[in-house]
Structure 1
Amino acid sequence: MNIVVVMADQMTPAALPFHGHRATRAPNLEALARDGVVFEAAYSNSPLCSPARAVFMTGQLSSRTGVYDNAAEFRSDIPTFAHYLRRAGYRTQLAGKMHFCGPDQLHGFEERLTTDIYPADFGWTPDWDQPHQRPSWYHNMSSVTDAGLCVRTNQMDFDDEVIFAAERAIYDHVRGSDGRPLCLVASFTHPHDPYAVPARYWDLYCDDEIDLPRVPLDRAAMTPHEQRLWQVCDMGNAEVTPAHVRAARRAYLGAVAYIDDNVGRIRAALAATGLADDTVILVTSDHGEMLGERGLWYKMNYFEGGARVPLVVHAPGRFQPRRVGEAVSLVDILPTLTDIATDGKGLAPVSPIDGRSLLPHLGGTGGHDEVLGDYLAEGAVAPIVMIRRGTLKFVHSLADPDQLYDLATDLDERHNLAADPGRTTLVAELRREVAQRWDLPGLDQAVRDSQRRRHMVVDALGIGTAAPWDFNPPRDASRQYIRNHMDLDDLEARARFPRVRA
């Protein structure tokens, strides 16, 4: 089976029609969900771009890989699913964002078809030694207060390049002579803020369709981490009105529709090339989006809005359509893809992984119901860890009070049960489990040491001649289109699909 992974950025399941949103226009995603396996409780293990993507690629938690934040190096010696699938005989290609930090910009992909939208250096390193200093490079509230219509954006430029490269990769694959199956990752930056979309997508909705947040801002009820996020995102220096909130949410739904159009283009290319029936399509996101719930925006927390992600696996000839209620996460993608690639035989990992294959869920034969997460980036002042098992979610940090929510009765997470006398034994058991799974004091020290090293490197590399790590897609114009060393008739015959002659 060919494998196509579509990754959106910052896409919350709450905004998708197959998770209950009544206004969103996303017919292509709905079709995949209708004929595929939909995971109702999929999570990001570390709800921030770069750490989440490293988890997705490696099957390992951030505390294991050292990809703590959006400027932490992703080491080249950590195997990814691209390495495993390449060894299993796949052609591995990446189009779009993956936010790899460091000089290795491939991490097992044989071909990378575009550059990244985000920098590859250490410039966005947080500083836990100065917890009250807001990083100047991070989100502020302009994405919300400036939300609305546009003609063009930086993100639209990037994602239009990504979809062109992904479509072309599919066509090139069937026109070429490479007999290997294809693993293509198409990774878009929408619907990540800023919340701005062209009229084509803005006009899909009207203001009356756009709900305001269910959980209002209550500064007095905020957890310490919420208070820190308030400061990190400079929320106190912006006046956010209901009109701003409605415009931001409307533009966000427009951006989801834009992603949906691109999913449709990928499916059309697979159908046109005869690959549709032989391809597994997996759709997910790196983390969610708060969209103003609790007065918060973006991600960086383990509330449902920030941490839950969509996850759909579409292969009707192999997996019967179903909905899976058990809790799973991005750390499970690597063992799942290797299982799919080897028809269930799997590939023995060369180093420990934290994920478990979703193949039992896909086949309807059971599967695990557990998510572990660790958040080690901006807004934190010490490691924050999460355990989701059954209907319960436990969030723990040495710096903050515990949080315990029962999602069966409290999906909006308004009632923290950690101090409930009836839950004392359970909380003690969960704290013991955390202590067994994580060395939190040691992890805290490792994160701070990494931050200090990277701040020093950033300062040093800013002096003198710069040597950027940003990926530059190789391009040899002498081998493109028509050149004098090529036989014209042979070239045109090979480039035309379907071929009219051998």
Structure 2
Amino acid sequence: MNLEPCNNLVIMTDEQDGLAMGCAGHPFVRSPHMDALAARGTRFAQAFTPSPICVPARASFATGRWVHQIGYWDNAIGYDGRVPGWGHALQAAGQRVESIGKLHYANAQAPTGFDRQHDPLHLAGGVGQVWGSVRDPLPDEARTSRLFQELGPGRSRYNDYDVASATTAVQWLHERARHPDAQPWTLYVGLVAPHFPLVVPQRFLDHIDMAALPAPRLHPMDGFERHPWVQRHAAFYDCDAELGTPERRRLALACYYALIEFIDEQLGRILAALAETGLEAGTRVIFTSDHGDNQGARGLWNKSTLYREAVQVPLLMAGPQVPRGHLCQTAVNLIDIAPTLVQGAGLAIPAAFSGQSLLELAHAPDDPQRMGFSEYHAVGSPAAAYLVCQGRWAYHHYVGFEPELFDRVSDPLQEHNLAGESAHREVLSQMQSALRRMLDPEGVDRQAKDDQNALVARMGGREAALRIGPQGASPAPKA
């Protein structure tokens, strides 16, 4: 593909469901700036995270490779530059590469491919969630959830941090316009919302009709039986129990949606600066998130499952040579961003990258056979879990447990597991074969646990490790 080299602007939110945008048809979220970006570019309707938890997903995003290829398994094994990524490729060509806001890498000193990091957020204490690495075996004692210690209208440190990050991005763009670079530049902006704590200024919450919000579906209190792997995860870290009442569950949902409106406003400020400075015509914009959120479905909150709400992310791209007003139905992944940035800046794509340029995928006919994939080896998981999406089917493979199979066309809410039905035996076999062609599920599970066991040993053993790491979100830098 013959591309005109241009600037890259990447904006990543945290924990945003891929359908939680007005342009994706969400009934409660108003997102005029996301919608406008989609209208002048391409929306990838089938975009997946490589892992439904922050640190592994971001390591894959940085390197353009799958988690099982790079070994950043959980929230205590942060990206440290050991595996080169898109930032290194751009730096090697002498191009400016800078970041603003949340990265969630190992630390600010690691050579992760940035010339400068502005007010970065990294692993708490430089070590992260070590207690989540204790999973061979998973502890029997339940972990107390503290996700909802703060909930409702107000202003959190994360809110202030996001506003400050957007302000810095606006200033950065004006500086580039005043002092243009000879070569294309790449700016990454990491925003935290709608990640918990679910605290949001009242004016955004006022937009949500709380009375119209439906109760979270498939709740165990209503008789729904979770898959055994999911039940084991929930028993270890039961966030829903902390909410306790239907009213608080509805408030949590309202705050989650309101936080997306809050973050849409910050996106709008950045995009307005891009237009005001005259940089818009020479800049490709990518907007996405690191993973989704379960939003109370199946009595689950936060991420860490293979269900659509947790693994599907928003992915919008606009700018030079990007199809306008286009909806791409080909399955894509955050690992596809690395080759996009390198190719879009006029460079050869490194052979080690596992993804494919979104620019090429946006111009090609939809490919229903391209595989959607995600994997999970982190907190609360008794064994590895893998997602394979192909065509109408979503297959969940749990090492040591029975699988799940969903028809994404007739059952988009994933309410009916078809894995045990004889009529779908051939489909199940095909999906299992597709996974095994990609990796050895049991072998990767063993490697992840071996690496985590080694980390736990370095931290003083199981009992010591269970006391190390944040009990809630990683603290924001002073905004």
What TM-score results when the alignment is normalised by the length of structure 1?
0.85
Q: Does 1:99 align with 2:84?
A: no
Report Cα offsets for 1:10-55 as digits up to 9, x if no partner.
Answer: 0012321111113322111111112210111111121000011111
Distance 2:265 2:327 in 1: 24
Counting matched residue pairs gives: 458
Distance 1:79 1:393 in 2: 31
Q: Displacement, 1:8?
A: 0.5
Of 120-129 and 183-192, deviating more is 120-129
Q: Secondary structure of the residue that 1:109 maps to in structure 2?
A: coil
Distance 2:241 2:262 in 1: 31
Indicate if the aligned counterparts of 1:115 and 1:471 stay in contact, CA closer than 8 A. no
The answer for the alignment partner of 2:411 in structure 1 is 410
Distance 1:209 1:371 in 2: 33
The answer for the alignment partner of 1:269 in structure 2 is 273
Are residues 168 and 372 of structure 1, via their aligned partners in 2, closer, same or farther at CA, if it must alter by over 3 Å? Answer: same
Indicate if the aligned counterparts of 1:51 and 1:62 stay in contact, CA closer than 8 A. yes
Gaps of 5+ in 2: 1-5, 465-473
The answer for the alignment partner of 2:3 in structure 1 is none
Report Cα offsets for 1:243-286 as digits up to 9, x if no partner.
Answer: 11211111112111111111111111112211011111111000
Are residues 393 and 247 of structure 1, via their aligned partners in 2, closer, same or farther at CA, if it must alter by over 3 Å? Answer: same
Q: Secondary structure of the residue that 1:84 maps to in structure 2?
A: helix
Distance 2:297 2:19 in 1: 11
Indicate if the aligned counterparts of 2:63 and 2:85 stay in contact, CA closer than 8 A. yes
Q: Does 1:121 align with 2:127?
A: yes
Q: Displacement, 1:156?
A: 1.5
CA RMSD of superposed structures (Å):
2.6
Report Cα offsets for 1:68-110 as digits up to 9, x if no partner.
Answer: 0111142423111111222344311111111112675441111
The structure 2 residue matched to 1:315, chosen from 319, 324, 328, is: 319
Q: Which runs of 4+ in 1 moved over 6 A?
A: 470-473
The answer for the alignment partner of 1:278 in structure 2 is 282
Equivalent residues in 2 for 1:178-197, closer than 5 Å: 178-197=181-200
Q: Displacement, 1:405?
A: 0.9
The answer for the alignment partner of 1:494 in structure 2 is none
> Percent identity over the alignment?
28
Indicate if the aligned counterparts of 2:44 and 2:329 stay in contact, CA closer than 8 A. yes
The answer for the alignment partner of 2:359 in structure 1 is 359
Report Cα offsets for 1:296-330 as digits up to 9, x if no partner.
Answer: 11110110101100000012664222101122111
The answer for the alignment partner of 2:468 in structure 1 is none
The structure 2 residue matched to 1:19, chosen from 17, 24, 33, is: 24
Of 161-170 and 35-44, deviating more is 161-170
Q: Secondary structure of the residue that 2:389 maps to in structure 1?
A: strand
Report Cα offsets for 1:341-395 as digits up to 9, x if no partner.
Answer: 22xxx624253x3212222332244556212222111121121111111111111
Bigger CA radius of gyration: 1
Indicate if the aligned counterparts of 1:167 and 1:269 stay in contact, CA closer than 8 A. yes
The answer for the alignment partner of 1:482 in structure 2 is none
**Letter aligned with residue 228 of structure 1:** R
Of 241-250 and 401-410, deviating more is 241-250
Q: Does 1:109 align with 2:114?
A: yes
Distance 1:24 1:441 in 2: 40
Are residues 258 and 141 of structure 1, via their aligned partners in 2, closer, same or farther at CA, if it must alter by over 3 Å? Answer: closer
Q: Does 1:65 align with 2:66?
A: no
Equivalent residues in 2 for 1:256-405, closer than 5 Å: 256-315=260-319, 318-342=322-346, 347-351=348-352, 353-366=353-366, 369-405=370-406
Indicate if the aligned counterparts of 1:114 and 1:472 stay in contact, CA closer than 8 A. no
Distance 2:324 2:8 in 1: 17
Distance 1:110 1:141 in 2: 34
Q: Secondary structure of the residue that 1:221 maps to in structure 2?
A: coil
The answer for the alignment partner of 1:33 in structure 2 is 38
Are residues 23 and 472 of structure 1, via their aligned partners in 2, closer, same or farther at CA, if it must alter by over 3 Å? Answer: closer
The structure 2 residue matched to 1:85, chosen from 90, 95, 111, is: 90
Indicate if the aligned counterparts of 1:35 and 1:316 stay in contact, CA closer than 8 A. no
Q: Displacement, 1:185?
A: 0.7
Indicate if the aligned counterparts of 1:5 and 1:283 stay in contact, CA closer than 8 A. yes
What TM-score results when the alignment is normalised by the length of structure 2?
0.89
The answer for the alignment partner of 2:447 in structure 1 is 446
Q: Displacement, 1:121?
A: 1.2
Q: Secondary structure of the residue that 1:443 maps to in structure 2?
A: helix
Q: Does 1:238 align with 2:242?
A: yes
**Letter aligned with residue 333 of structure 1:** I
Are residues 432 and 361 of structure 1, via their aligned partners in 2, closer, same or farther at CA, if it must alter by over 3 Å? Answer: closer
Are residues 416 and 472 of structure 1, via their aligned partners in 2, closer, same or farther at CA, if it must alter by over 3 Å? Answer: closer
Distance 2:145 2:271 in 1: 34
Distance 1:237 1:288 in 2: 20
**Letter aligned with residue 296 of structure 2:** G
Gaps of 5+ in 1: 463-469, 474-502
Q: Secondary structure of the residue that 2:120 maps to in structure 1?
A: coil
Indicate if the aligned counterparts of 1:213 and 1:292 stay in contact, CA closer than 8 A. yes
Q: Secondary structure of the residue that 1:64 maps to in structure 2?
A: helix
Indicate if the aligned counterparts of 1:9 and 1:191 stay in contact, CA closer than 8 A. yes
Are residues 49 and 236 of structure 1, via their aligned partners in 2, closer, same or farther at CA, if it must alter by over 3 Å? Answer: closer
The structure 2 residue matched to 1:142, chosen from 139, 142, 148, is: 148
Distance 2:321 2:438 in 1: 39
Distance 1:228 1:107 in 2: 35
The structure 2 residue matched to 1:222, chosen from 226, 231, 244, is: 226
Indicate if the aligned counterparts of 1:122 and 1:458 stay in contact, CA closer than 8 A. no
